Structure 1
Amino acid sequence: MSHSDSDLKQAPNFQLKDSNGKIHQLTDYKGQPLVLHFWATWCPYCKKLQPGLNRMYKKHINNGIPELKMLGVSFREDGGATPGEALTKRGINFLTLVDGDKVAKAYNVRGTPTTVFIDRSGKIVWTTNTSNPDDPRLDKAADFVLKRAPN
């Protein structure tokens, strides 16, 4: 994670709905560190990883406000899948966006799970395919994007 800023790619903007039909876009999170978790309800590795991401998300909630924003981006779903309900049933607290196939493509996501860490300047600082909920690099990346000042 020791990149020079010129090496970092700007995160592509997106516009996706959550399960309730509310539109979210990257610009809503301007100036805030953001984690995008690309996943699918049928993916066993995503299910394995999500409790670790949820712990990381909850660890950085201050006075009820998440300092590290986290969004699931569900894609390649089977017909009739209900990603929002799936996360809630799994006890996961962060929101998921649905129908994220175009966004996955824009972020060069090839498989599930893929987790992307974006700093306050909207730059992608790390992308990982880990499915290990206890991977220490997840917390390192979270701390990195939280401490990194926007430029």
Structure 2
Amino acid sequence: MKTKLVALFAFAIVGPAGAENVAQPEMSKEQQEMAAAFERMGEVRAEHRQLAYFVGDWKTKTTVWMDPKAPPQESRGTSHGEATFGGRYIETKFDGDMMGQPFSGRGVMGYDNLGGKFFSTWYDSMSTGFFLAYGSYDKASNSYT
């Protein structure tokens, strides 16, 4: 089932202290459905909790094959993963080297409740774009694709 989600946000200064207690108009059925969709989108679920595995400090080894006939290039680094926004996301900070040069990268992993998929973003010091991937988790092999 596809969910259509349209939202308008408005922020205003409402006046002196205590003015925020003014009664709000009753929401329409469509607004109530939209509010319920936002609640579902914001839930921290089991998929989010399993990403906590990536929280912490890691030593890394990266292997890159530039040519299948040549030996791979290896580099080492460190990675720090931190849960943000109540465990909804894991932010990763990587520092190391790549192809003999200093290399730093940042990423965010999470689970999209609406899309039903895991996602990962990445940007780094060797490019000016970003990477976005969606995937799944296979419990039998304990791997993300």
Does the pair score TM above 0.5?
Answer: no
TM-score bin, normalised by smaller chain:
under 0.3
Instruction: State the structure with bigger RCO (CA 8 A, min sep 6), 1 or 2.
Output: 1
Report the TM-score when normalising by structure 2.
0.23
Report the TM-score when normalising by structure 1.
0.22
Structure showing greater Rg:
2
Which structure has more helix as a fraction of its residues? 1
